[in-house]
Amino acid sequence: MKNRIVKCVSALLATVLLLAAFVSCTQPTITTTSSNVTTSMTNPTTRTATAPNTTVASTTTNSTTVTTPVTSTALTIVNGTNTQTYTLEQLKDLQSITGWGAKNKAGTISGPDTYVGVRLTTLIKSSGGMTSSDFVKITGSDGYSKTLSWTQVYQGTFNIYDLSGNSVTAGTQPFFSLVYSMDGNDLDATTGPVETSIMTMNGQSSDSSMWIKQTVKIEILKAVTLNVSVASSLSNVLKAINALYAKTNPNVTISLNTGASGTLQTQIENGAPADVFLSAATANMDALQNETLITNSSRKNLLSNTLVMIVPVGSTLGLTSFNDLTLAKVTKIAIGDPKSVPAGAYAQAAFDELGITSQIQSKFILGANVTQVLTYVSGGNVDVGFVYSTDALSSTQVKVVANAPADVNAQIVYPEAVLKASTHSTAAQAYLDFLSSDQAKALFIQYGFIMASN
């Protein structure tokens, strides 16, 4: 009898174990990984709201691997070293807002429509927040972007219009929202899955340029001041370019330090603050590179120029060539100091090539930079001077009477580079990249420069 009982108990235990094994095999294990923490759930019917940066791993059932679909990222938020990504479903899990929105594009109004989305401030807060001196850059999938100030984000300072396109006072404080639904439907592929919008009161509209379709990225940017040391001959054109740059990069302030390239080189060698250097000669950049003071990978030849001989617009001396400098009627010749001013060094090279240096050297009036030479000539303080063609174009008080020899002009190159000591190297490189953009090129050409062939 005892043996029978033992056998029955053993059989019963075996049956229980088989049933347990069967149940465990029919229940899939869903593994969710987030921030290097893994948890397992055995209830496949439970919906789990995933946090940003969450990825869903594969599910194993009866030794067969089934990959659980992972919804693609709809939005990325970068705040310093913190990066968060959201799928559309994760955005919908956040606290939503509903509001009216209408776009005004040159007086043409589209909308109003009812939108559902997430406040921009909610997403900023979840990423770590921002200070009143920070900026927010919002970018669409096509690269179009807008950079907003703290005031725009938190106080809603926008241009608001009625539905006829007339400027009006906002009836309620407008605010930015990342919307994913319009009039009860998900956004279509031309604008969504996420669009940056401005919510206003019903019956009012906002500037359509502030709406960014297919928004894919939000970045919190710190205010940056770039110290840019540039050759004097670049002063005027860079003022125009920097004004253009500020429109799309309001978080970046450009502090221009202009002077003779040799003087700027010495300043940098002595530790003067500089993020970017644009020289009018390769020799000055070569020196800094040999001293390991620039980031070599950032170096690039940006521009070229030509050296010209100029006289006051009212001059009656009748000068037409470099050889005329030897004439007795020419008593004062303005050139940049060849030791520090590239334009002066190029002029010296031209004189040496023509074999006239010894005959005219006593007539030299040395300028601290090319701008000073231009001032000497335009003011009638000298008979003749040597500047770049771009400098001559900037003044109505001088006229060009001769060009330097072709082989001398071929040497004139403006290299650019980021300094190794820069504390804003990323912003500095972005600025240099802009200098090669189509917008900047158009201004360089307008001011008489020639884009260098690298």
Q: What is the pLDDT of residue 181?
A: 95
**Cβ pair 392, 449 in contact under 8 A:** no
Contact at 8 Å (CB) between 62 and 46? no
At position 85, the amino acid (one-letter code) is T
Rounded CA-CA distance 208/62 in Å is: 55
Q: What is the pLDDT of residue 216?
A: 96
**Domain residue spans of the chain:** 76-221, 224-304+412-451, 307-407
pLDDT confidence of residue 10: 53
Structure confidence at residue 416 (pLDDT): 98
Per-residue pLDDT band at 191 (split at 50, 70, 90): very high
Task: Tell me the C-alpha distance between 343 and 328, whole Å.
Answer: 24
- Closest residue by Cα to residue 408 from 350, 339, 354: 350
**What class does CATH assign to 76-221?**
alpha beta
Mean pLDDT (the chain, rounded): 86
User: How many separate helices (H) and strands (E) can be counted in the chain?
Assistant: 14, 29
Instruction: Please give the order of strands across the beta sheet that includes 37-41.
Output: 37-41, 30-34, 55-56
Distance CA 271, CA 273 (A): 6
Whether the pLDDT of residue 70 is over 80: the answer is: no
Q: What is the pLDDT of residue 11?
A: 52
**pLDDT tens digits, residue range 327-377?**
999 999 999 999 999 999 999 999 999 999 999 999 999 999 999 999 999
Do the domains at 76-221 and 224-304+412-451 have one common CATH topology? no
Q: Is the pLDDT of residue 6 over 70?
A: no
d(CA 370, CA 337): 9
Q: What is the mean pLDDT of residues 49-67?
A: 40
Question: What's the pLDDT band for 274 if we cut at 50, 70, 90?
Answer: very high
Q: State which fold the 224-304+412-451 domain adopts.
A: D-Maltodextrin-Binding Protein; domain 2 (3.40.190)
Amino acid code (one letter) for 51: A
Taken in order 7, 11, 16, 17, the sign of the CA dihedral is: positive
In sequence order, the β-bridge partners of residue 99 are: 115
CA dihedral 316, 321, 326, 330 (to 10 degrees): 20
Structural tokens at position 19: 């049933």
Mind listing the pLDDT tens digit for each residue in 120-148? Answer: 999 999 999 999 999 999 999 999 999 99
For residue 71, what pLDDT is reported? Answer: 54
| pTM across the whole model | 0.73
Structure tokens at 192: 């969504």
Cα 385 from chain centroid (whole Å): 39
Q: Which residues contact 138 (CB under 8 A, 6 or more apart)?
A: 145, 146, 147, 148, 196, 212, 215, 217, 218
Q: Using the predicted structure, report yes or no on whether residue 31 has a pLDDT greater than 90.
A: no
Distance CA 58, CA 31 (A): 7
Output the pLDDT for position 171: 87
Q: State whether the Cα torsion 271-274-275-278 is positive or negative.
A: negative
> pLDDT band at 299, cuts 50/70/90?
very high
Q: How many CB atoms lie within 10 A of CB 71?
A: 13
Q: Are the CB atoms for 159 and 206 separated by under 8 Å?
A: yes
Residue with tokens 């939005």: 75
The predicted pLDDT at position 72 comes to 82
pLDDT given for residue 454 in this prediction: 58
Greater pLDDT, 228 or 25 = 228
For 368, the token pair is 């601290």
Are β-strands 398-403 and 252-259 bridged in parallel, bridged antiparallel, or unpaired?
unpaired
Identify the residue whose tokens are 């989305």: 117
CATH topology of domain 307-407: D-Maltodextrin-Binding Protein; domain 2 (3.40.190)
Residues 311-335, mean pLDDT to the nearest whole number: 97
226 has which bridge partners? 254
